[in-house]
Amino acid sequence: MSEPPAPTVPASRGEPHAEASTAALPGPLTPGPAGPLVLGIETSCDETGIAVVRGLDLLADVTASSMDDHARFGGIVPEVASRAHLEAFGPTLEAALERSGVRLEDLDAVAVASGPGLVGSLTVGIAAAKALALALGLGLYGVNHVIGHVAVDALVHGEFPEEFIALVVSGGHSSLLLVRDIATDVVELGQTLDDAAGEAFDKVGRLLGLPYPGGPHVDRLAQRGNAEAIAFPRALSRGKDLARHRYDFSFSGLKTAVARVVEGFEDAGVEVPAADVAASFSEAVADVLVTKTLAACGEHGVTTVVIGGGFSANSRLRELAAERFAAAGVELRLPPIRYCTDNGAMIAALGSAVVSAGATPSELDITIDSGMPLTQILAAS
């Protein structure tokens, strides 16, 4: 019998190979005066967002959404979202490059949302970002999606003050943050213990027979209703609950309270006063969000608040925040709605901040982190 052929690759190839590729990774950047030219990639949920920024200048921001594909299921279907990202990625990247007039080889860095979010969706963005970074010899910056919702405001309203409070409200998050430096130092003061604000609106939308996602429909309905018609609870706002959860939120009990009220009308054979229910519910959510945000400002001696996330489109939150923050002498920075929903600009903005702060890029083998903690701004570097 003849000998089997000798292996063509030495068994020990793993180690020296790994060392060689690590040594070739780009280090921290020293951007020019206009700031780094950063590609931002966002695929954490149902929006494929790709943007290009130079420093705080937004050069292009292109978004493809798969929301219409999910609506008939009454919620986001992760498999459908992942496939949609795969299909939309190439055309979205091309459009962002064309609109910005930037060529791939001009870029300084690639930033990508590496968490939190849906595993399959994030995987598409990260895989693409790694391929681009590797092919172009650029640093890869895996950044926190939720912090991105705050960072995007700098593209609209300019540099952040030394310290500010951020309220991030979306379909997946309701978080109160103390931001000392958007690139390096974020403290999580509180978050929702159950449903996020947008999620509660979507559930109440379903209770009231409105299409998915219910948030904007409940909002529109609420504008015709009486906010004082029904006294809905303000969770974690009094006594021991408040002491233990000063900056946390809870909207699940409120949603149940709405369900009871709706059932009560139905059982009595009375038409549900949907606009009044929506208005009273909206008031309860906005009241708790604004009250806790103002309390955080007072306690930390902060006079600026940034509100981000898709739920910040809510008209009652916008109104109440404007009114009560002005009365308290607190500056409110609220980006236009198109920058509040998921988009590439927020990831490019945070990438730009992180690069400008001289951060070392993430390792090329970073994995997605669907539960990325809010105190972690940049994935393992």
- DSSP annotation of 210 reads P
Residue bearing tokens 């020019």: 32
309/335 with CB nearer ligand KG4:
309
Confirm or reject binding of residue 153 to Zn ion (CB under 5 A): no
- DSSP annotation of 192 reads B
**Could you count the other beta carbons within 10 Å of the beta carbon of residue 295?**
17
Q: Which stretches of the chain bind ligand KG4, using CB under 6 A?
A: 45, 170-172, 198-199, 201-202, 213, 215-216, 219, 309-311, 313-314, 341-342
- Closest contact distance (angstroms) between CB of 327 and ligand KG4 is 23
- Closest contact distance (angstroms) between CB of 300 and ligand KG4 is 25
Nearest to 174 by CA among 200, 153, 210: 200
75/91 with CB nearer ligand KG4:
75
Number of residues that bind Zn ion (CB under 5 A): 2
Rounded CA-CA distance 198/201 in Å is: 5
Q: Cα dist. 298→179, 304, 305 in Å?
A: 15, 11, 11
- DSSP annotation of 367 reads -
Phi-psi region of 111 (alpha: psi -120 to 50; beta: other; left: phi over 0): beta
Confirm or reject binding of residue 170 to Zn ion (CB under 5 A): yes
141/281 with CB nearer ligand KG4:
281
Pairing of strands 174-181, 185-191: antiparallel
- Which residues lie closer than 8 Å to 3 by C-beta, 6 or more apart? none
Q: Give the side-chain half-sphere CA count within 13 A for 69.
A: 16
202/342 with CB nearer Zn ion:
342
Let me know the angle formed at the C-alpha of 200 by 66 and 313, rounded to the nearest 5 degrees: 60
- Closest contact distance (angstroms) between CB of 13 and Zn ion is 41
- Closest contact distance (angstroms) between CB of 342 and Zn ion is 4
Confirm or reject binding of residue 92 to Zn ion (CB under 5 A): no
- Closest contact distance (angstroms) between CB of 313 and ligand KG4 is 4
248/342 with CB nearer Zn ion:
342
45/59 with CB nearer ligand KG4:
45
Instruction: Fill in the per-residue mask, 318 to 357: x = in contact with Zn ion (CB under 5 A), - = not in contact.
Output: ------------------------x---------------
- Closest contact distance (angstroms) between CB of 71 and ligand KG4 is 11
